[in-house]
Each structure stands twice: as structure tokens, then as C-alpha cells.
Amino acid sequence: MRSKRIIAFIVCLALIMPNMVFASNNKYITLNLRYDYQDHYYNAEEVFVEIDGKRLTDLPMPPIILNGYSLVPAREVFEGLGAKVVWQKEVEQVYVTYGSNKVMIPIGSSKAYVNGEAHTMQTVARIINNKTMIPLRFVSTALGFDINWDKDTRIANIITDKKVTEKTTVTTTKATTTTTKATTTTTTTIETTTEKTTAAVTEKKTETTTKKAANTSSGGASSAVAKGNFGYDYDNDRLFIKNTSGAINISNIIHYDDYYDLNYTCEIPVNLSSIINTETFDPQSEKISKCTVTVTPQKTSVSFDENMILAMNITQENGYVYFSPVFPKEKYDKIIVLDAGHGGGDPGAQANGLVEKDLTLKMLLSAKKKFDHDGKIKCYVSRATDVYPSFDDRTDLANEVGDAFISIHINSATNTTATGTETYSLYPNDQGNGLTSYILAEEMLDQLLEKLGTVNRKVKSENWIVLRQSVVPATLIEIGFISNSGEAAMMNNNTDTVGQAIYDGVTKLFNEYPPVR
């Protein structure tokens, strides 16, 4: 009886074997995968990658499927497509660029960045057997390619016939952020306070207001008031003053940009009481809440209370001078925002008779002076005196007006022999010109090492608040160790050298990566 059952089983097995062989025509591969500091046994059907039907062979690490998704060696596969692949070892990030599309993938994270925007991947990139393995479908579609998967042959075919040069939209779930920011309670040498204050920049007005009826003057301006020699042009959102006999020389007008308190004042060093009088206007503008003209025997001032940080264009036409508030990026081609770490009641690190907040401010003011003197790059600063801006104030300033952001700090350690310079980056924050936070951090490090001769502590990645909250390329730089007596003295004597390094690095990068307007 038992022998009959065995025979019956063998017959059944023989009948189904052809189907089993047909459905699994690929060979199985067995690998020992080393990742996450552990060995993993891998046994699965072989996977193949093709580009327009042409198979990639002799790959140093075969494509594999983990958790249901294909991982492939980054450089060999995507350079085969004509993309540029850059591996940033210091921060374990891989950049893949094709045309105008750029993908940045941090190792071990499900978050990736496509043209600066955060997206959530369905699997993570890993270092496996010393090779950078990244998600095939996510990166392919992010670069603008189609991909076909044949489950029977286990072939993933990347199709390049529909190449695109414009930025593409990835169909994965995009990471979202909320306007409510969590309070950070971690205390570090760099960021030692959890205080948050009201952001320096108020929200833009969204309600459309009815503009005042316009009158026509001989100069073409609308809404002339008082003596007909000055008024507010509501249609073009600008103040005008009739320039009688050329009394106003616009090159002599003094600008006071108090962007901390959202006020911009232009001082005309001429008494214009013969043609205008003191007047206040309600511009009913998205940009301006109030405009005040003040006439004194010595001067005439035009003051704008702003709803956001603005710059000022002053022009002449048809016998009139026009004061036009504009967004900073409408006026300036290149804008850097500098931050002096700590300040006010937050001294930062202290040792060897020096205080971090004082050193960082001196370095910042030195760099700003160089930018202002040159005039080619507009420089905004988080503080120009010994005050404490909140973390929100610092990053809000950079995010609203800047093309890049640098936060200046001084290091400290319990080991008084610790020495050297290091910089930090987190997210790429590419604004479309190719400049990333890592490139900014790397250039700042190179400039500081060259000019100060300090020990190279490399570019690092850390979740500092000022980096986490930045949307423009951002770096935090640690000049040296205040706890090291020799290095403390060197920094105290070389604040201008640090300013020069910052100026030179930003100038070089903005020339190589001109901001997009």
C-alpha cells in the first residue's frame, strides 16, 4: 500500500515539473550581503537590468530585490544612462544628475530629494558589500525615464526614448511639512537655547484691497496730492516727488534698510519744503503698510513700513523721482545671508578669556564689510550687534531673501588639545542652479583651511536647527576650538582672515553657480 502511494506521488510530481520549470526559468543566486554592520543571507532569482533592451553585464554587484524593490549599483547603472553620479563619502549621500534633473539620496533614509524637493521612497538606499545600491525605479523615473518590469524574465528595462530635459514630477509620496515647528530641547555646544521669538518677517497680506482712484499729473504719476508735486502712485506701488530744477540727486540719497524692524528709509539731503509737505500715505499694498514723507529744514525723509523684507529702487523719469519698494531678488542678482552664532544672553562657548558670540560677530562683520565694499553680492546678516535672534529669525531671513546661508560658530571640547576646522551640511536645498549645501560646506572648509592652516576635520552632516530649517543651500562652519589656547589666540587674531575666506568662497561659488532669477 505504501509503495503505491509513493508511485502515485512520483507520477504527480512528474506531471507538474514541466510547469514549474517553465514558470521559473531563471537561475537562483546565493549571496552573502554585508550591510547595516551585519551579514545577511540572500537567495533569490537573478535580476537583470537593460537600457533600451541592451543588457548591462559584468556589474561589480548584481541587482537585487530587498523588501520587494530593486536595488542596483548606482554608478554603473546610471552612468550607463549618461547621468552623472557623485558619491559624497563624508555625509554618505549620492547625487545622480541627468540634464536639469538632480536626485540626492542619503544612505539609510527613505527620504530623497528631487530638484531640491523632498520625496518619500518605498525603500532605502544602502551600502551593500561596499557598493552604493539605490532604488532603480525611483531614480529612473525621477530622471525622466520610463521603466518596464517583466516578472517572468526578471528584466527591468529602462527606456530612454522619452528623455526629458525639463524638471519632472515624481509620482511618489512627497514629504510634507507644517508651519508649526517643534521646539527642540537638545542642548549642544553650538545651539544652547530653546528660546523662540516671533519671526522677524510677517506673513504677506493676501486680501486684495480696492485701490484709490488715480489722478494724472504732468509727470504721468497717478494720485497726486497736496501741492501736486508729490504723492503715491497706487497702480505701480511707488512714491513720487517732482524734481524741481533737479534739486534731488538720486546718487546722494542715503539708504537705511532696517530689515530687522521691517522699515526702509531714504534720506534726501535737501530741504524740499518749498514743493512738498509732511504727509502719510496708506498704500493699501501687499508690500507696504504705511509710507511717510517727513520734511525738515535739513533733509527730506521717505520712510516705508514694510510687510516683508524689501529693497528699494530709485529712478528718475519725466521730471519725477520714484521710490519703488521691490523684493530683494528683484533688485540683487546674488544674495548671501550670514549668521553670527549665539548673541545677547546666549554667549556660546567660552574659554581662554574669549567668548564665542563676540568672535563670530567680528568674523561676520568683517565678511559683510567686504561684500558691501565690492557691491556685487548683497549681504544680509542675522545680527550686527550683540543681540540674540531666535533660530526661526535666522533661518526665516535666509529663506525669504537669500541664495545661500552660512552660520558661523566656534567649537569647544573638554579635551583642550582638540583642534581643527569642520563644516556641516544636511539637505541639498538646490534652488535650480546646481549649488547644494554640501558644495557650499566643502568650499567654506577649503577656504578656511587654506587661509588659517588649521587641521582638516572634514565636512560632516548633522541635524542642527539652522540647517534643518533652511530651504536654501546652508552650512554651519566651526572655525576652530576656543578650548585650545593656541587655536583660540589664532582665531582672535584672524577674524578678518575668516571674513576673507567667507567672502572668497561665496564669490567663487556664485560665479560658478549663478543664482536663478
- Tracing cell 523719469 back to the chain, one arrives at 317
Distance CA 361, CA 424 (A): 19
Cα torsion at 16, 18, 20, 21 (round to 10°)?
A: 160
- Tracing cell 484691497 back to the chain, one arrives at 209
The per-residue DSSP string of 49-97 comes to EEETTEEP-S-SS--EEETTEEEEEHHHHHHTTT-EEEEETTTTEEEEE
What amino acid is encoded at 38 in this protein?
Q
Residues serving a catalytic function are 478
Distance CA 469, CA 183 (A): 12
Distance CA 515, CA 98 (A): 20
Which residues of 180-260 form beta strands (DSSP E)? 224-225, 230-233, 238-242, 254-258
Distance CA 350, CA 353 (A): 7
Distance CA 255, CA 271 (A): 17
Most distant pair of Cα atoms in the chain: their distance:
125
Task: Pick the closest to residue 47 from 132, 156, 130 (CA basis).
Answer: 156
Distance CA 456, CA 443 (A): 13
Q: SS3 of 325, please? A: strand
Helix axes 495-512, 485-493, angle to 10 degrees: 70
* Region label for 2, one of left (φ > 0), alpha (ψ between -120 and 50) or beta (otherwise): alpha
Distance CA 441, CA 404 (A): 11
* Secondary structure letter of residue 377 according to DSSP: S
Task: Pick the closest to residue 473 from 168, 102, 84 (CA basis).
Answer: 102
Strands 224-225 and 300-306: unpaired
